[in-house]
Amino acid sequence: MKILERHFNGISGLDDSIHPVLKKVYAARGVVSESELSLELAGLYPPSLLKNIDSAVELLIEAIQASKNILVVGDFDADGATSSALFLICLRAMGHQKIDFLVPNRFEYGYGLTPEIVSVAQQRNPDLIVTVDNGIASHDGVSQANAAGIKVLVTDHHLPGSSLPAASCIINPNLPGCEFPSKSLAGVGVVFYLMSALRAELRKQNYFEKAGKTEPNLASFLDLVALGTVADVVPLDQNNRRLVKHGLGIIRSGRGRSGIRALLEVAGRNPQNVVASDLGFAAGPRLNAAGRLDDMSLGIDCLLEDNPSKAREIAHELDALNKDRRQIEQDMQIQAMTALEHLDIDTNDSLSVCLYDPAWHQGVIGILASRIKEKYHRPCIIFAEGGEIEDGKKMIKGSARSIEGLHIRDALDAVATQHPDILQRFGGHAMAAGLAIREEDFQAFVAAFDKVLSVELGEDVLLHKKYIDGALEKDCFSLDFASVLREAGPWGQHFPEPEFQGQFEVINSRVVGEKHLKLTLQVPDSDQLIDAIAFNAEQVLLENKLATITVVYRLDVNEFRGVSNAQLMVDAIVDYALAL
């Protein structure tokens, strides 16, 4: 690992009231003016910039006025769940009750609006199908819906292919010719914008007044937008940070969805002090567990539930599923690491890590791919049996995770172009993608993928680089400054939480949870002590007494039994010395 300090050119137009360390942190993330720090909702890009937004609103108004059946078809992850819940809640708040949702079970129907899921949808007699967080690659499913006389409105944010499905309308900020500046909207963000445009048009037509209905305040639903946006790990550009900040505010104020509050509480997080990382590492995984191991309908039910006690019951079910997911993942990770030891991935010439085991759980391969990518700093694709037979051939499904410097969806597109018979389906983002191939083509795919990477990867892309924001002065190791950093976000993808490096004398250390190291450190040039925790520490650190340690860390606030203290969250151990 190579430690690099983030570039800072010393130019900043930020107010002098901002802490100098924070000014440097902001500047290193491209923020050098007050306007770039503004996260007021009034600064959101207008819905009118989304291509086809007027046509989409027209479709929905037609369905509302004619009291038609609308069926929402979502993805089986947190973004898909929040997108589905937001669509239903908003339409019902606007007075349309003939609306329901359907989430494909990943183990039976696969991803997106497939012909199989359209057949299931037809049993509910929809007049309009609305896809959320999927649909941009659902050519066959849309065609089947059209043939059945069902209109389809696609709302998605995934990158489109060379052709688009023949839907009645498509809303996607990444459509060719779409002028919406933020290409990083999550699926739930696209739904929020569509609902905003719909409400504006209904207001223009005096719909609420004529129907004697109260116009919904869409800002009150931003907790759903925040959860889906953070959990889907989309880049937090200024527009997304606005959505996330105000969504966090809704949760903190106690006005949020009972289901989100319950998910945070079962994870041991205090909703009154929630930050973006709590959504990403506590609420999100528990919501995702439903789609990974069972049926995401349970997660959507949690988000739709208004009764706090019932929401807690569902949240506990999701928490139990998440514990099962962790155990399955741990077992798979042990198997994968054993296989990689035999491959000696650190010394061979492979540019990627691609593994397949027919016994692996299809719902957990994405998490395993992330873990391996983090450990070996290589693009990683993990495959499991897809439970499908096409033309007599067994299909396997892969979940891909990328590293900085490689657009994984574009790399798969290059494989598909060079070897049109290997990839059966694929889609995704720059950093994550999904695909399906025939089992017999696994080795051919690995070779083709590595060949593409030999062209796509830059000279030092495989060098694991850790970026830091320098070192902290002794006066910064305080609860006050930790609170300043905590509130200075929201932090997330492409707007990372500040990390620093320093060497500390170890006053005390103990093992917690069998593999985590709890430390008491002495702040350099000071008598001040500060707590730190290093998760999944090396065995040598767990078994020996330490004299000094050099770490990359985040300065955070730890709350325990109502008492708050500054704490270092150790992200990397650079060096250490054992006590004699």
Q: DSSP per residue over 410-459, as a string?
A: HHHHHHHHH-TTTEEEEEE-SSEEEEEEEGGGHHHHHHHHHHHHHHHS-T
pLDDT of residue 348: 59
Q: CA 499, CA 501: separation in Å to the nearest integer?
A: 7
What pLDDT sits at residue 11?
A: 63
pLDDT in tens, the chain (580 residues): 889 999 876 666 788 889 999 999 999 999 988 899 999 999 999 999 999 999 999 999 999 999 999 999 999 899 999 999 999 999 999 999 999 999 877 777 777 899 999 999 999 999 999 999 999 999 999 999 999 999 999 999 999 988 999 999 999 999 999 999 999 999 999 999 999 999 999 999 999 999 888 999 999 999 999 999 999 999 999 999 999 999 999 999 999 999 999 999 999 999 999 999 999 999 999 999 998 888 899 999 999 999 999 999 999 999 999 999 999 999 999 999 988 877 666 555 678 999 999 999 999 999 999 999 998 999 999 999 977 777 788 999 999 999 988 999 999 999 999 999 999 989 888 889 999 999 999 999 999 999 999 998 877 888 888 999 999 999 999 999 999 999 999 999 999 999 999 999 999 999 998 889 999 999 999 999 999 999 989 999 999 999 999 999 999 999 888 889 999 999 999 999 998 7
Residue 143 backbone zone (phi > 0: left; psi -120 to 50: alpha; other: beta): alpha
Pick left, alpha or beta for residue 132 (phi over 0 → left; psi -120 to 50 → alpha; otherwise beta). beta
pLDDT at 198: 98
CA atoms of 295 and 293, how far apart (whole Å): 7
For residues 88 and 81, is the Cβ–Cβ distance under 8 A?
no
Each residue's pLDDT tens digit, 31-87: 988 899 999 999 999 999 999 999 999 999 999 999 999 999 999 899 999 999 999
Identify the residue whose tokens are 């966090």: 248
Q: Is the peptide bond before 490 cis (omega within 30 degrees of 0)?
A: yes
- Closest C-alpha among 200, 219, 210 to residue 42: 219
- Residue 434 has a pLDDT of 92
Q: Model-level pTM?
A: 0.92
HSE of 524, CA atoms in CB hemisphere, 13 A: 11
Among 300, 305, 230, which Cα is nearest to 82's?
300
Structure tokens at 116: 């199989």
Pick the closest to residue 137 from 172, 166, 165 (CA basis): 165
Give the pLDDT score at 130: 98
Closest-CA residue to 78 (of 264, 289, 235): 289
What's the confidence (pLDDT) of residue 294?
Answer: 82
Domains of the chain: residue spans and CATH: 50-318 (3.90.1640.30), 344-456 (3.10.310.30), 467-578 (2.40.50.460)
- What pairing do the DSSP bridges indicate for beta strands 169-171 and 151-155? parallel
R_g over Cα of the chain: 24
pLDDT on residue 55: 98
Q: What pLDDT is attached to residue 462? A: 85
- Both tokens of residue 504? 């500390």
Burial 247-281 (b: 16+ CB within 10 A, else e): bbbbbbeeebbbbbbbbbbbbebebebbbbbbbbe
Tell me what percent of the chain is helix, strand and coil, each rounded to the nearest 5: 45, 20, 35
* Tokens 């009972």, located at residue: 258
Q: What is the pLDDT of residue 562?
A: 80
Q: How far is CA 274 from CA 32, 242, 305, 457, in A?
A: 27, 16, 20, 38
In DSSP terms, 372 is beta-bridged to none
404: Cβ contacts below 8 Å, ≥ 6 apart:
461, 465
User: Which residue has 């491959």 as its token pair?
Assistant: 343
